[in-house]
Amino acid sequence: MKIEFVLNGKPVSAELRGNERLMDLLRRLGMKSVKEACGTGDCGSCNVIVDGKLINSCMMLAVQARGKTVTTVEGITPEEKLHPIQSALLEYTASQCGFCIPGIIMTAKYIADNHPTADEQTIRQILIANICRCGGYTKIVDAVSAALKQIQR
């Protein structure tokens, strides 16, 4: 079965493999930021934005992306520049191993797009769906707060 959708601002046509998950299709299309950790929608490592909604791509069939707009970390900024969220995560040394960071970036992008004036409590409530086994959440929350302020300027 073939589907068409918009991936990171560009139209894509893809032949699906059976009941392929969106995460697997995105990785097959070269979106290496989309990671599988739990495979059950519990960790947030595979988070992407689909039509403005934060989605665990391991829990969505690829066929459900037909006609939709999908954004991964690779598509949040043009020309391989760093997004303010990425810059803040680096500045606040909020990443250790980096495995969970793409999912956290997409969650933070969702926060920036839908809750641009979010306070610390709101940021923490939304980020609770992301599991980071290596680091603490304080630096991540501080980085997201700083990025929101930077984006608002």
pLDDT band, very low/low/confident/very high, at 97 (cuts 50, 70, 90)? confident
Q: In terms of domains, do 55 and 84 share one?
A: no
pLDDT above 80 (res 135)? no
Question: Phi and psi of 25, rounded to 5°?
Answer: -65, -45
CA dihedral 77, 4, 104, 59 (to 10 degrees): 180
- pLDDT of the residue at 95: 86
Q: What is the mean pLDDT of residues 104-123?
A: 98
> What predicted TM-score, i.e. pTM, was given to this entire model?
0.96
Q: For residues 146 and 85, state if they share a domain.
A: yes
Q: Which tens digit of pLDDT belongs to each residue from 22-76?
A: 999 999 999 999 999 999 999 999 999 999 999 999 999 999 999 999 999 999 9
The residue with tokens 């606040």 is 92
Query: Would the CA dihedral through 15, 54, 77, 97 be positive or negative?
Result: negative
Identify whether residues 109 and 137 lie together within a single domain.
Answer: yes
Instruction: Assess whether 24 and 69 both reside in one domain.
Output: yes
pLDDT level of residue 143 (50, 70, 90 thresholds): very high
C-alpha–C-alpha distance, residues 98 and 31, integer Å = 16
Supply the CATH number for residue 123's domain: 1.10.150.120
| Boundary-marking domain end, from 59, 75, 91 | 75
Domain span at 54: 2-75
